[in-house]
Every structure is written in structure tokens, then in C-alpha cells.
Amino acid sequence: MWCRRSTRCSRATPRPRITSVARSARCRTGCSRAARPDAGTDAGAVTPAHLGLLVGINLIFGFNLIASKFGMGHLPPLWFTGLRFAVVAAVLWPLLRLPRPQLGLILQVALAVGVVHFGLIYLGLALAEDVSTVAIALQMVVPFTTLLSILMLGERVGWRRTLGMALAFAGVMLIAFDPRVLGYLGALGLVLLGGLAMAFGTILMKRLSGVKPLELQAWIGLVGAPCLLALSFVFEEGQLEAAAAATPLVWVAVVFSALGASVVAHGGLYWLIQRYEVSLISPLMLLSTLFSVLFGVWLMGDVLTPAILLGGAATLAGVAVIAVRSGGRTRITPVP
């Protein structure tokens, strides 16, 4: 009897119910996580160890422009860039696979980024007198991407991101009219055109699915290397003689550009993106530009005029506003 009564009592005892408040709170938490597949697993502050990794990545990207400028002082720019991607393709070859449904789109991305973008910016870098202005102009990829998102994807942009784009464009215009920069305005134009190609490639990347970042880097290397080397033989001369006369330090520059920037730094960057919000990491990547400017002044003798300083500050401020206000919608674009 005691057992039966106990059983009856346990059946009669009402089960605790999840209140509507608790249910909605749980739903909000779950939905917010599920609705943002591109967000990292940690929305909090960057840990000291990961912050150190991020600074190291920025140092690699920042110094890469210096190494590339040095290398192109001894090798023709298209030849140098083609050799860089040949090394990338050789190292990342094991990651390549053939995603047939998206192969055409991958080839379009590789052509836009690996051939047009890198070909133009390295030509501009070789012709420019200063690395600093090139580093600042490269940040125009972010407002260019936002602008193309409006024109091609119908994305709506608020007044803050519009202000960021205006600041960035005004900063570049201020730099362009500096008397020192007017001497190599064509080089700056090539870099800006290369940034526009990168922005177009970024729009195409948004349509890719299931392609890992380093796998995409491998495809960019595989497509970019033969195309750039072929273009070098069409538009440049003395490649083989320059390669034969190159010192070991020149080949270190080629390998550093390939392995340091394309493999190690990009791999580390995308590893961090998997763990943190893109809007948290993206503004911190502006450190690479600051490092390039510092290295340019220290190692290459760059001259920073008031117009370059003011224009650079306006450009970086505008890019930071766009990056912060874009949240998880803006993909971090590859850095040279």
C-alpha cells in the first residue's frame, strides 16, 4: 500500500514547467547562435595568447610589403608574384580537391584575386617610391567591397558605414594630391584598381560554400602562378637572367612572401576568425598597415608628409568604422 500510494503521489506531483520567459530566453540564446554561422565561438575579448598571435600575424603582413618591395628590386614584379604563387601551390597542393559544382566560381575567384589583384598591386608597389602609401591604399579594399555589395547584392548600408566610406575615399584623395605622391600617381592608381579587383573577388567568395580558406589559397596559387609567369614573359624581360643573378636574400623574400603571408599568416588569421567575432578581429587587422608604414620609414626611407599622415588617418578611421559597423557580415579580405 505504501508503495502504491507513493507511486500515486509521484504521478500526481506536477512536473516543473519551463516558463514562457525561460523558454523565450533559451530560444533567444539558441537562435542568436544559430543565426550567425560565421561568428566565432568566443564573443568576448581576445585572450592574451591569441592577441599575441594576432600581433604576430599583423607583423608578418606588415613586413611582407617590405620583403616584396625588396624582392622586386631584383626580380620583375610579375615574375616575382608568379614565383610566390608557385611556392604557395607547391606547399598547399595536398589540400586541393575538385569541387565540381563550384569549380567555375573558384576559378573566377582565383583569376580576380590571384591574377588581377596581386598582379596590379605588385606592379604598383614596384613603381611606387614609398611603401607607406601603398599600404594605406590597400585598405580601400574594405570600402570597395561595401560599395560593390550595394551595387551587386542590393545590401543596405546605414549612415555610419556611408560615413566610413566617405572618410576612406577622402583620405585617399588627400594622399593622391600630395606633391610627393603625384610623382607616382600611376602606381597608386594600379594599387587602387587591384583593390577593386579584390573587392570583386570578395563578392564572389560570398557565393562559395564548403571551401576551406587554405584550400582556396591553394587554388589561387595554382591558377595565379602560370598566368602571372606567362604575363611576365609577354610584358617583362630579363626574368631568367635576374633569377640567375639573384642573391639568397632575394629568394628568402620570395619564400617569405609565399609561406609567411599566404600560408602562415592567412592560416593563423582564419584560425582566429573561427574563434572570435569577425567584427572583433577585423579592426585589429589595421595594425598591419601601421606596421608597414613603420617598416617603410625605418627600412626603406619612406617620407611621411602631413598630407600622407592626415589622409592615412582618415582612410584607416573610415575602414575601422566600416569594419565595426559591418558586424559578422564583412569577410576579412586577404592581405598581400
**What does the block give as the cell for 81?**
608574384
Q: Cβ contacts of residue 131 below 8 Å, gap of 6+?
A: 65, 66, 69, 125, 292, 293, 295, 296, 300, 302
- Assessment of whether the complete model's pTM goes beyond 0.75: yes
Residue 52 lies in a domain: yes
Determine, yes or no, domain membership for 281. Answer: yes
Query: pLDDT value at position 326?
Result: 66
pLDDT grade for 283, boundaries at 50, 70 and 90: confident
Please report where in the chains the cell 625605418 appears, as a residue: 298
Q: Which amino acid is at 156?
A: R
Look at residues 58, 55, 78 and name the one whose alpha carbon lies nearest to residue 335: 58
Q: Answer yes or no: is 215 within a domain.
A: yes
Contact 228, 78 (CB under 8 A): yes
Taking a C-beta distance cutoff of 8 angstroms, is the pair 62, 260 a contact? Answer: no
Which amino acid is residue 122, in one-letter code?
A: Y
The terminus-to-terminus CA distance of the chain in angstroms comes to 81
Task: Please name the residues in contact with 64: beta carbons below 8 A apart, sequence gap of 6 or more.
Answer: 256, 257, 260, 261, 265, 335, 336
For residue 61, how many C-alpha atoms fall within 13 Å in the half-sphere facing its CB?
26
Q: What is the pLDDT of residues 294-329, one digit of tens each?
A: 999 999 999 999 999 999 999 999 998 888 776 555
Q: Is residue 5 part of a domain?
A: no
Residue 4 has pLDDT above 90, yes or no: no
Residue 184 lies in a domain: yes
What is the full DSSP assignment across 269-291? Answer: HHHHHTTB-HHHHHHHTTHHHHH
**Residue 19 located in a structural domain:** no
Full domain range(s) for residue 167: 46-329
pLDDT recorded at residue 81: 98
Domain count, the chain: 1
**Radius of gyration of the chain, Cα coordinates, nearest whole angstrom:** 24
Position 113 in a domain: yes
Within-domain flag for 264 = yes
